[in-house]
Amino acid sequence: MPELPEVETVRRSLSGLVGQRLRKVELPDGRLRYRATAAQFKGAVAQQLTGIRRLGKYLLLDFGDFPVLFHLGMTGRLLLTSPGASAYTKVVFRFSQATLCFVDVRRFAFVLAGNKALAALPAGVDALGVQNREALIQKMTQSSAPIKSILLNQKIIAGIGNIYAAEMLFAAGIDPHRRGKRLTAAEAARLITACEKVLRRAIDKKGSSISDFVYSLPGEREYSTGAYQKEFLVYNRAGEPCKNCGAQIQKTVLGGRSTFFCNVCQK
């Protein structure tokens, strides 16, 4: 599932669309998590794309004050390729000088527009834009949930999913099962720093492509993949030696999700 670094990679790959006018929207197949309709894009058609923002795992295309919001779900893709390229193309955005295709094999992705777009935005602070660290430390250390579940809670901090939560907790040396309220303020601060460090490195590597994640660049015939999966220290490494201490990486299930950690390095 695309997390913050993958969505940020997509945002950057689409920056060439900014300034272009949206000529029309076509719907070869509007079946997504929420059915897409031509009517919802009325406020964007004939308007100029003025900016592309990312909030958590959401991508927001601004047409003046009319927003169009994308969530990639599990397998959603926003590609600058011809719509004939995929049988799973759901929505095609024809800009003045480029075509943007919203493609999804599994239909968990969605696109919303106008007020519905704004209503869907995550409540939590963006994991890469933490201004008020004290407030976030307080929220983390007041919760009785396991710290890993706190990292995944988009109402507290937005953008982190199962992969990066594992890597961040390893980087901070914190056991994913520990309750938030059992963390000291110093540990929570260390975790926030680790979050930023892991996310920035992953963005440098254009995200992780372990199953489906791809992005496309202007003029590219096919698409590109990210490379951060080559740097995973714990995620998907159960039974393999910890790269720090040599102990076997453990795998448990926490909150219904696979959880990877080193029980020597993470306390």
Is there a catalytic annotation at residue 257? Answer: yes
Among 10, 113, 195, 265, binds Zn ion (CB under 5 A): 265
Name the minimum Å distance from CB 173 to Zn ion.
9
Other beta carbons less than 10 A from residue 38's beta carbon: 13
Q: Are 59 and 51 in contact (CB under 8 A)?
A: no
In this complex, which beta carbon is closest to Zn ion, that of residue 60 or of residue 233? 233
Q: How are strands ordered across the β-sheet holding 99-103? A: 22-26, 89-95, 99-103, 77-79
Q: Which of 11, 57, 90, 148 is catalytic?
A: 57
Our CA dihedral for 35, 106, 255, 206, rounded to 10 degrees, sits at -110
Q: Which of 2, 5, 122, 146 is catalytic?
A: 2
Q: Which of residues 187-246 bind Zn ion (CB under 5 A)?
A: 242, 244-245
Name the amino acid, one letter, at 120.
A
Name the minimum Å distance from CB 264 to Zn ion.
4
In this complex, which beta carbon is closest to Zn ion, that of residue 120 or of residue 264? 264
Name the minimum Å distance from CB 121 to Zn ion.
37
Q: Which of 3, 6, 167, 187 is catalytic?
A: 3
Rounded to 5 degrees, φ, ψ at 75 are -130, 15
Residue in the block written with tokens 């929570």: 188
Q: Which of residues 155-194 bind Zn ion (CB under 5 A)?
A: none
Residue 264 binds to Zn ion (criterion: CB under 5 A) = yes
In this complex, which beta carbon is closest to Zn ion, that of residue 189 or of residue 265? 265
In this complex, which beta carbon is closest to Zn ion, that of residue 14 or of residue 265? 265
Is there a catalytic annotation at residue 2? Answer: yes
Residues in contact with Zn ion, total (CB under 5 A)?
7
Task: Name the closest residue to Zn ion (Cβ).
Answer: 242
Residue ranges of E strands in the chain: 22-26, 51-55, 58-63, 66-71, 77-79, 89-95, 99-103, 110-113, 125-126, 157-158, 250-254, 257-261
Is there a catalytic annotation at residue 31? Answer: no
Q: Where do runs of H (alpha helix) occur along the chain?
A: 4-13, 115-119, 133-142, 147-152, 162-172, 185-204
Q: Rounded to whole angstroms, how far apart are CA atoms 83 and 81?
A: 6
Q: Residues interacting with Zn ion, by CB under 5 A? A: 242, 244-245, 247, 262, 264-265
Enzyme catalytic residues = 2-3, 57, 257
